[in-house]
Amino acid sequence: MGEYTYSELGSILAMQGFAGISLFSVLLLMALGLAIIFGQMGVINMAHGEFMAVGAYTTYFLSVLTEQYLPSLMPYYFIFAIVIAFLVAGVLGYLAEFALIRHLYKRPLDTLLATWGLSLIMQQSFRSIFGAREVSPTLPEWLLGSYQPTETIDIPLNGIFVLVLTGVVTLGVFYLLYKSSWGLRVRATTQNRVMSGAVGINTKKVDRYTFALGCGIAGIAGAAFTTIASTGPTTGSLYIVDTFMVVVFGGAASLFGTIVSAFTIAQTQSILEFFISGSMAKVYTLFALVLILMFKPEGLFASKVRR
Amino acid sequence: MVSNNTDFTLAVEDLTVSFDGFKAVDNLTLYLDRNELHVVIGPNGAGKTTVLDLICGKTKSTSGSIKFLNKELTNMAEHEIVRAGVGRKFQTPSIYENLSVLENLEVSYPHGRGVFGSIMFKRTSEVIEKIHQIADQIMLRDELETEAGLLSHGQKQWLEIGMLLIQDPQLLMLDEPVAGMSVREREQTAELLNKISQGRSVLVIEHDMDFVERIADKVTVLHQGKILAAGNMKEVQADPKVIEVYLGH
Amino acid sequence: MNFVYEKLFGGKQGFIGLLILAALILIVFPLFFDIFRLNLIGKYLTYAFAAVSLVLLWGYGGTLSLGQGIFFGLGGYGMAMFLKLEASSAENTSIQSTPGIPDFMDWNQITELPWFWVPFNSFTLTLIAILTIPALFAYIIGAAMFKRRVGGVYFAIITQVIAVILTILIVGQQGFTGGINGITDLRTLNGWDITSDSAKYIFYFINCGLLIAVIIASRFILTSKFGSLLLAMRDKEDRVRFSGYDVSNFKIFVFCFAALISAIGGALFTLQVGFMSPSFVGIVPSIEMVIFAAVGGRMSLIGAVYGTLLVNAGKTAFSESFPELWLFLMGGLFISVVMFFPNGLAGLWDDYGHYVTRHFSFLSTLKNKLFKKSPSIALEAANDSNVSEQQMTKL
């Protein structure tokens, strides 16, 4: 570190910090979906990364369509793409729950294996439909370029956009879970499934929509992801482990914990990446997480409950 | 108030546990004599099961002491407490459904408790004899080869009691042993309890008043984590505070 | 004698099963396949070690490890390091800027053998390392997690993350590990050419012998009180704890034992395939090992071997001719096994096996003749062994 002056270090921290913000946004969006599904339903969805890829491919597909048939709409298509990515991933999630997950609720380890199988099938489907090469949508002009508050700091606009998007989605999830009557039903089902059923909550329906919502949010994560990097058939699987760590580290049932945890992990990795190689940054980050979880297995923000 | 060396089998003193500020058990003091059959009753949420959880180490206390034969239990691990001679039956029958009755009892047999001990454990005639003896007591002699999951609800309760008996505990704690049993099974269980309380202390949690009357030497009424009344069944039933709690709502 | 029979072979059923498996891999395969195919089967059978370890850990213990590749890899790398050092003698590597160290180190400007490579100059130390390091590593992970009562999906995910860490580390530290290519160009073991056909035959039979030994040892553990306790813990952990057992010790032991078995498989893999690389360490191989066990039947030691053979044969056949179809099939396999055949092939055999034996009635008569069992209940069988001992001597 000795070669940098303090002001240079400051700029590096700011820029790496902002690069970390993009990673944070994608991780948080992924983790929100996963946390809802795992925290509320106790289901491990190994195909969650592939639902993100569904969102990314949807965005790419729409960009190709728009460019070919309605080029005048290019500046606006991305907004629609986000909504459609959410819907496509959500509907696929709904179907997956119906066909697969609902039969395995009492066997969490089996769910894990079955969803892994689903992820293999989805990966191969991506490869068959879109090819093995990585693809990127054409982004609207207003997402390109960057904002330069000082000479040395250069913040890309897409990062800012993704951050805003993440904020909106997070608030939406918070509202849904904690302020709406639907959220009340979800939380009731989490705490006491039998009782919830007895007071007239259709717990099966709650499960299905919860799963669909989680997958839909992964779809939004995919749309956001396209602004940062290109998408390939195995893109989703690259993020699944990190996302799990975010959820577990944050304490599975805590929304606030998930946010803090995504931020910590993304920033640690991103700042470390500047000083050591990317792979070692990941090794250190994951290693630290495993160590912390060994001493505090319930995560950062688990609530104390009488067992 | 705090005694150091007593004749009691179990001496619980000033025991308190709080979950995020809620005191589930509040400053509880309770003594169990040798060979005493003590029943704890009380409305739902009174903290009865929590008391058992605290004694057997499932829940850690916030403050207070639990002495069993003058040994402090509060900082011991669960398996150490069991090895010291405290057996506990859970509310819902907790048996190994995939194993036979015989295997259920064998797994509970207090030898071969270490990793290598259990690998080298041999089913000697001594073990078999003990299993037979217990099976006779719990009325399951004819079911030794049956898979435990196929037993009736009452038989499962008995099996779990048998799994404790085979360890010969000095203190036996039973959480609602007759819940879900038929009238005939209740009678048999009462008989069983009277038999097995010879030579050991028994702490029972129960709702069924007829059953309590039949078995109890001493009764403690718990309400909102505190002791409301204690004594023999007659005294407790006559206590106006108890009547208020049970009938007032 | 009866003790040995019941304990090691798992009684009549288990003994026949083991006999059939032994006949298949020791006699039928060598007779019908050329050395190339046999070597391939040998490679599959090294995965079977990991699959068997998962039967103990997951099927009986209820603890799913998504990181058996870690231990398979540690065993494999241990053996590969020894073989690599032997292949990198000063004469063989005289063209390098630093002769006497593995070629990939030389390419990465490393001028001295790293300290952790030094013990692998000795074959004895290498064997000791293979048998202890993975188990020790498992002990550390197991003690940290099981003592804090971490289990279920948390354990699965943490083991998976450790597999990821190890993979990234191996790939990233090219100079010390050979990187993504792994450790290659392994030729001799104490001067003996391991690529020759005769060596391949010998390794194949050693592999089969060790696999059978591992199955017998696992049987011994599962038929003991320890085995009942494992099942008991899987279903009612609290009841076991409140019967006076320190549950975590049992889980740690199974995890370590499973790690040891997997490591032996890994070491045999290196010997038969002639290289070791990170692609046998990470998430994908680890979870594939789980599917091997699941297809065979998570509760069946022998089933795990068949599951491994079948899935791998399918993988080889399909990925040669229809590589695209294979991932769909593999995915479908994961889903259908957990949804429709949770007990795998072994479960199918239990449900429908009697149709087969009925059609081959001579088999069952043979069986009855060999293993006529007295109608004694298990209680008596434990005490007196005279009757069955006589039957055993007939064998």
Measured in angstroms, the CA of B113 and the nearest CA of chain C are apart by: 6
Task: Express the helix, strand and coil content of chain B in percent, nearest 5 each.
Answer: 40, 25, 35
Give yes or no for B95 touching C (CB within 8 A). yes
Asked if residue C390 is part of any domain, the answer here is no
A17-31, A117-131, A175-189: range with highest mean pLDDT: A117-131
Measured in angstroms, the CA of A287 and the nearest CA of chain C are apart by: 7
ipTM: 0.89
Domain chopping of chain A, boundaries: 6-295
- Average pLDDT in chain B: 88
- Which residue among A110, A283, A293 places its CB closest to the CB of C158? A293
A117: closest chain C residue by CA: C331
Residue C118 pLDDT: 94
Residue C167 pLDDT: 94
Question: Comparing C-alpha atoms, which of C235, C229, C237 is closest to residue C254?
Answer: C229
**Percent of chain A's residues with pLDDT above 90:** 31
- Which residue among C58, C283, C332 places its CB closest to the CB of A117? C332
**With an 8 Å Cβ cutoff, are C291 and A124 in contact?**
no
**Percent of chain B's residues with pLDDT above 70:** 96
Structurally, chain C folds into a number of domains equal to: 1
Q: What are the residues whose beta carbons fall under 8 Å from the beta carbon of C90, sequence distance 6 or more?
A: C99, C100
- Which residue among C220, C231, C241 places its CB closest to the CB of B78? C241
Contacts of B20 in chain A (CB under 8 A): 304
Contacts of B50 in chain A (CB under 8 A): 306
Residue B123 pLDDT: 86
Residue C178 dihedral angles phi and psi, to the nearest 5°: 90, -5
Ranges of H-type helices in chain C: 2-9, 11-23, 29-32, 35-54, 68-87, 103-107, 123-146, 152-172, 174-177, 197-223, 225-235, 237-241, 247-273, 283-296, 301-321, 323-340, 344-359, 361-370, 378-383, 386-394
CA B108 to chain CA mean position, Å? 16
pLDDT higher for C213 or A272?
A: C213
Residue A203 pLDDT: 81
Asked if residue C293 is part of any domain, the answer here is yes
Residue A197 pLDDT: 78
- Which residue among B19, B24, B50 places its CB closest to the CB of A304? B19
Domain chopping of chain B, boundaries: 10-96+170-247
Indicate the pTM of the whole model: 0.89
**With an 8 Å Cβ cutoff, are B59 and A306 in contact?**
yes
Asked if residue C381 is part of any domain, the answer here is no
Question: Given a cut of 90, is residue A182 above it in pLDDT?
Answer: no
The pLDDT tens digits of the residues spanning B222-234 come to 888 888 888 888 8
Residue C312 pLDDT: 94
**With an 8 Å Cβ cutoff, are C379 and B102 in contact?**
yes
C230: closest chain B residue by CA: B107
Residue C361 pLDDT: 56
The pLDDT tens digits of the residues spanning B190-237 come to 888 888 888 899 999 988 888 888 888 889 988 888 888 888 888 888
Average the pLDDT over A203-229 and give the result. Answer: 91
DSSP A151-216: SS--EEHHHHHHHHHHHHHHHHHHHHHHTSHHHHHHHHHHH-HHHHHHTT--HHHHHHHHHHHHHH
Which architecture does CATH list for B10-96+170-247? 3-Layer(aba) Sandwich (3.40)
Give yes or no for B18 touching A (CB within 8 A). no
A51 pLDDT band, cuts 50/70/90, is very high
The pLDDT tens digits of the residues spanning A72-101 come to 888 888 889 999 999 999 999 999 999 998
**Touching subunits for chain A (3+ Cβ pairs under 8 A):** B, C
| Burial annotation A160-187 (CB, 10 A radius, 16+ → b, else e) | bbbbebbeebbeebeeebeeeeebebbe
CA C156 to chain CA mean position, Å? 18
**With an 8 Å Cβ cutoff, are C145 and A116 in contact?**
no
Question: Given a cut of 80, is residue A304 above it in pLDDT?
Answer: no
Residue A252 pLDDT: 67
Contacts of B19 in chain A (CB under 8 A): 304-306
Per-residue pLDDT in tens (0 to 9) along chain C, 395 residues: 455 566 666 667 778 889 999 999 999 999 999 999 999 999 999 999 999 999 999 999 999 999 999 999 999 999 999 999 999 988 888 888 888 899 999 999 999 999 999 999 999 999 999 999 999 999 999 999 999 888 888 899 899 999 999 999 999 999 999 999 999 999 899 889 999 999 999 999 999 999 999 999 999 999 899 999 999 999 899 999 999 999 999 999 999 999 999 999 999 999 999 999 999 998 999 999 999 999 999 999 999 999 999 999 999 888 888 878 888 999 999 999 999 988 888 888 877 766 766 666 555 555 554 444 333 333 333 333 333 333 333 33
- Which residue among C154, C172, C332 places its CB closest to the CB of A121? C332
**With an 8 Å Cβ cutoff, are A109 and C157 in contact?**
no
* Token reading at B203: 């702490």
| Burial annotation C370-389 (CB, 10 A radius, 16+ → b, else e) | ebeeeeeeebebbeebeebe
Give yes or no for B180 touching C (CB within 8 A). no
Tell me the residue range of the domain where C66 lies: 12-374
Cross-strand partners of B11:
B31, B67
B243 pLDDT band, cuts 50/70/90, is confident
